[in-house]
Every structure is written in C-alpha cells, then in structure tokens.
Amino acid sequence: MALAHSPRQSGSGRPRSSSRGMLAEAAAELFLEQTYAGTTVDDIARRAGVSRATFFNYFSAKSDLLWLEVNEALEVFDATAASVPPELAPMDAVLEAVTRLADAFGPGRLPLAVTQVDLMGTDAELQASALPRFLALVRRLEAFLAARARLPGDALLPRAAATAVVGAAVSAAAAWARGGVRRGPLTPLVRTAVEPVCAGFAEVLPATSTTR
C-alpha cells in the first residue's frame, strides 16, 4: 500500500468519499512508525484528519484495516463466482472462482499486514482476526459449489470441499506473503495449492455437474 503523504485537512473539510482511503493510509504510516499495538483508533483518526466517529463509519475495529483488500475481495466474490462459465464441472468452477479471486492481489496490491509484518508487529493480530475471513469465504464457496453441483445447501461434500480448498488457498497466500519484495503474483501459487484438492473432490462430484 502506498504511503504517499497528502496535505491533511480538518475532519469537517474532508470529502466523505476520501475518508476510507485516508484512514487506511494513516494506519499504514502509524503501524510502521509505532507498531500496530502501539497505535490507537484515535491516533489513526487524528492522523487522517477525521473524527473517531468517522472511523467507525467505515471500520468496526482497528484490525479491519489489516484486511482491507481482503474484505473488498470477499465483498465481490459472489459476483466473481457468478461470472465463471456455467458449463464447467463443479470443482473446475471452484478452481476458476478461487484463482479469479487471487487475481485481485499482486505486487501492486497487497493487504496492509503483508507488507511489513515484523515492523508493524501484526503477526498476533493476524492470527486472531483471520478466522472470520476464512469462514466467510468457506460459506460463500460452499454455497457456490452446492448450487453448481445441484446439491442441498447443507450437504456435507460442498462444505468439506470448500473448507479444503480455502485451507489450501490460505496456505498458498501465507507462502506468498513470506516472499517479501521478491513476491510475484499470487494466482500461480493458489492454483498450485488448490488444483490437487479440486481434482480429488472431482472424483466424487462429477455426476452432479450442471452439464449432466
């Protein structure tokens, strides 16, 4: 995330549409300067030139700033998945949906906490706040797979497959994060990790494909 320094204005003078981005920028600066634990919501709001109330208009907690890009990708996942060609078999469709999600990230678009984990001291918070995002993606992928495979929404196989696929994708993302400044695009790593999982579940799901 770029840490460009822009002229600060008072909270009353700042256009509302810019507040979210200014808060994210301010947080990135402060986490690097004084670590994540050493930064308060008030510090971030003050640096961004907005009120504490404005902060909570955009974020429910300080940790949300670490996951800003991830949350934005999750918000559009249903639309991304819906754009996957309907003729694909269920697990092929899952692989396509997950790799399209990974396409949103790369050297030019990194989740804040990935960029400087050690300097920001975000490792503990990342572990604490990762689970809700993991489960949210599992639920969305489960619903997508159940629909594609024409199975009930509470069927076991879509849930098991979605959990395994997301677990593999998260492992790939963790390896990508450790790549530092030399990291390339995320998508090839995700495909390498997720493809065998999809191939395995395809053995028990092909008869329910929408193409049958």
DSSP 12: T
* Torsional sign, CA 151, 155, 157, 162: positive
Question: Is the whole model's pTM more than 0.85, yes or no?
Answer: no
Within the chain, all domains assigned CATH 1.10.357.10 are found at 66-208
109, β-bridge pairs: 106
| Distance separating alpha carbons of residues 64 and 135, to the nearest angstrom | 16
pLDDT on residue 115: 63
Query: Which SS3 state, helix, strand or coil, does residue 109 take?
Result: strand
| Whether the predicted pLDDT of 18 surpasses 90 | no
88-95 average pLDDT score: 95
What pLDDT sits at residue 125?
76
CA dist 91 → 18, 84, 146, 159, 177 (Å): 40, 12, 10, 13, 26
pLDDT in the model for residue 28? 87
Segment 75-102 mean pLDDT: 93
Q: Tokens for 195, please give them.
A: 């493809």
| Choice between 131 and 142, residue whose per-residue pLDDT is larger | 142
Other CB atoms within a 10 A radius of the CB of residue 184 amount to: 11
**Least confident among 22-26, 56-60, 84-88, 103-107:** 103-107
Reduced to 3 states (helix: H, G, I; strand: E, B; else coil), residue 106 is strand
State the CATH architecture for 66-208. Answer: Orthogonal Bundle (1.10)
Beta strands (DSSP E) in the chain are: none
Is residue 42's pLDDT more than 70? yes
CA distances to 77, 164, 194, 201 from 27, in Å: 26, 33, 33, 41
pLDDT at 4 over 50: no
Percent of the chain predicted with pLDDT > 90: 47
CA gap 107, 17 in Å, rounded: 26
Q: What's the distance, CA 180 to chain centroid?
A: 18
What confidence category does residue 154 fall into, taking pLDDT thresholds of 50, 70 and 90?
Answer: confident
Total length of the chain = 212
Superfamily of domain 16-59 in the CATH hierarchy: Homeodomain-like (1.10.10.60)
Q: Tokens 């991304």 belong to which residue?
A: 80
CA 21 to chain centre: 17
Average pLDDT of 29-56?
92
**For 130-144, what is the mean pLDDT?**
91
